[in-house]
């Protein structure tokens, strides 16, 4: 008898504050038109001050537990993917375990950025099918706003506060290619192994560290001593640096390649796919991937327009929306694919 990992429940939450593209133009030289045209993004959500990644993860986890109709004490392992943890260390997994009141179950933090949820699915599948765990809570959660270089939050949220000075606007604009893309959110899934043919069918994952500087945070790391300095802060080296063109190019070649390779290895054709859920980094990337694969619009789901790029949270959020709106039906063949900083990329195939 085949044993496969099934997704019993999903849930997600976003940051509390809705921020439209035009709102960002209050802080820096950008426009709704530029952001929409280059990325497809129309709006994103930011947390209010004081909400951290584990806060969002807790709410998403509670929704997924309710959706799965399990008692939270059935969870015996947490896998937590984030690149924006509450603290440099420890990771968020243990903090979430304590806040959920799960007892001393193991909590594993993984940091594969935009591919974090797919790596998390593979690790979870291995744990569940080898008997290392019975019920896993898998989380992808991010609060990117800690990276934002501006200080005029009240002004951004329309809650008073001064508009930025010319110098502040110039500083904010230095980072505009990155800051307009990201949003805060968390997605969660409850996973369990069952006998039968439905569930996760297989994975193909890759990494290539040789180009890591195309998307990374230069400071706040132990390659230097001390690991963060006033000079780093003054120069903005605690904010991610990105070679957007290079990331774009990698994404539009590697994502279709890995989808083709995985489906073929598992004995399927691209036409067999009922739904492609790709990481939501840029709508133009996903349109190019769709074109490479020759998939019709009915077989591809995108929601970056509403949430921006939420890194490890994009795939569980999209999955939750597809499950709850009937876009994923029992028996459908669903492919997840992502690529992100590291660089890490990969795909997973699910018989829903
Ligand atoms: O999960 C992985 C995360 N990252 C990604 O997936 C990023 C992948 N790359 C991208 O999505 C695109 O490269 C971007 C959306 C980041 C940028 O689009 P692009 O078409 O590659 O633009 P560019 O960086 O080449 O910049 C074109 C122009 C520049 O002005 P000049 O030099 O032509 O005068 C930029 O300064 O657009 C300017 N620009 C902006 N203008 C208004 C850059 N960011 C902005 C902005 N608003 N936010």
1 pLDDT band (50/70/90 cuts)? Answer: confident
As a whole number, mean pLDDT of residues 12-19 equals: 98
Q: For 28-60, what is each residue's pLDDT tens digit? A: 999 999 999 999 999 999 999 999 999 999 999
Selecting among 21, 172, 302, 309, the annotated active-site residue is: 309
3-state helix, strand, coil in the chain (%, to 5): 40, 25, 35
Q: For 228-244, what is each residue's pLDDT tens digit? A: 999 999 999 999 999 99
Burial of 88 by CB count in 10 Å (0-12 exposed, 13-18 middle, 19+ buried)?
exposed
Q: CA 120 → CA 41, 115, 201, 333, distances in Å?
A: 26, 9, 15, 19
Which atom, in ligand 1's list, is nearest to the CA of 245?
Answer: 13
Q: For 153-189, what is each residue's pLDDT tens digit? A: 999 999 999 999 999 999 999 999 999 999 999 999 9
- For ligand 1, atom 18, the nearest C-alpha belongs to 38
Model pLDDT, residue 20: 98
Token pair listed for 50: 């004081």
Burial of 298 by CB count in 10 Å (0-12 exposed, 13-18 middle, 19+ buried)?
exposed
| Domain range 199-351, CATH architecture | 3-Layer(aba) Sandwich (3.40)
Query: For residue 314, what are the contacts with CB-CB under 8 A and spacing of at least 6?
Result: 114, 117, 140, 187, 279, 280, 281, 304, 307, 338
Distance CA 111, CA 341 (A): 10
Degrees, nearest 5: CA angle 143-158-147: 25
- Chain position carrying tokens 């426009």: 31
Q: For 121-158, what is each residue's pLDDT tens digit? A: 999 999 999 999 999 999 999 999 999 999 999 999 99
Q: Which of 19, 21, 34, 38 to mutate to test the pocket of ligand 1 (most atoms within 8 A of CB)?
A: 38
The CATH 3.40.47.10 domain(s) of the chain lie at 3-195, 199-351
Distance CA 322, CA 319 (A): 5
Selecting among 279, 282, 302, 335, the annotated active-site residue is: 279
280 pLDDT band (50/70/90 cuts)? Answer: very high
Dist. CA 178 → ligand 1 center (Å): 8
Closest CA to 117 of 185, 52, 178, 214: 185
Q: What is the mean pLDDT of the chain?
A: 97
Query: For residue 82, what are the contacts with CB-CB under 8 A and spacing of at least 6?
Result: 53, 57, 91, 92, 109, 111, 116, 139, 140, 141, 142, 311, 312
Token pair listed for 241: 């640096």
- For ligand 1, atom 20, the nearest C-alpha belongs to 38
Does residue 337 carry a pLDDT above 90?
yes
Active site residue 279: yes
* Percent above pLDDT 90 for the chain: 100
- For ligand 1, atom 21, the nearest C-alpha belongs to 245
Q: For 283-314, what is each residue's pLDDT tens digit? A: 999 999 999 999 999 999 999 999 999 999 99
Superfamily of domain 3-195 in the CATH hierarchy: Thiolase/Chalcone synthase (3.40.47.10)
Model pLDDT, residue 74: 98
């Amino acid at each position: 008898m085949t044993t496969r990992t099934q997704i019993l429940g999903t849930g997600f939450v976003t940051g509390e504050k809705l921020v439209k593209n035009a709102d960002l133009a209050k802080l820096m030289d950008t426009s709704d038109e530029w952001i929409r045209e280059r990325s497809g993004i129309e709006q994103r959500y930011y947390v209010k001050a004081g909400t951290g990644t584990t806060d969002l993860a807790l709410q998403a986890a509670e929704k997924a537990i309710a959706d799965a109709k399990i008692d939270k004490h059935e969870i015996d392992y947490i896998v937590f993917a984030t690149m924006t943890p509450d603290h440099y260390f420890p990771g968020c997994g243990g903090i979430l375990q304590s806040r959920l009141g799960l007892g001393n179950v193991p909590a594993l933090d993984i940091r594969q950025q935009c591919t974090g949820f797919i790596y998390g699915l593979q690790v979870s599948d291995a744990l569940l099918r080898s008997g290392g765990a019975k019920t896993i809570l898998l989380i992808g959660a991010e609060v990117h706003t800690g990276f934002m270089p501006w200080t005029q939050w009240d002004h951004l949220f329309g809650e008073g506060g001064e508009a930025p000075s010319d110098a502040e606007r110039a500083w904010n604009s230095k980072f505009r290619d990155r800051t307009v893309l990201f949003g805060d959110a968390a997605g969660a899934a409850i996973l369990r192994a069952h006998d039968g043919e439905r569930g996760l069918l297989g994975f193909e994952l890759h990494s290539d560290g040789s180009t890591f500087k195309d998307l990374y945070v230069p400071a706040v790391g132990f390659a230097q001593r001390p690991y963060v300095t006033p000079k780093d802060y003054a120069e903005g080296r605690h904010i991610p640096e990105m070679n957007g063109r290079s990331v774009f190019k990698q994404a539009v070649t590697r994502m279709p390649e890995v989808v083709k390779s995985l489906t073929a290895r598992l004995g399927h054709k691209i036409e067999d796919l009922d739904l492609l859920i790709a990481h939501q980094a840029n709508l133009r990337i996903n349109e190019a991937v769709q074109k490479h694969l020759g998939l019709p619009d009915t077989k591809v789901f995108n929601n970056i327009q509403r949430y921006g790029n939420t890194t490890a949270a994009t795939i569980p959020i999209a999955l939750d929306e597809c499950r709850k709106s009937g876009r994923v039906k029992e028996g459908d063949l669903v492919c997840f694919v992502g690529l992100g900083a590291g660089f890490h990329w990969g795909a997973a195939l699910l018989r829903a």
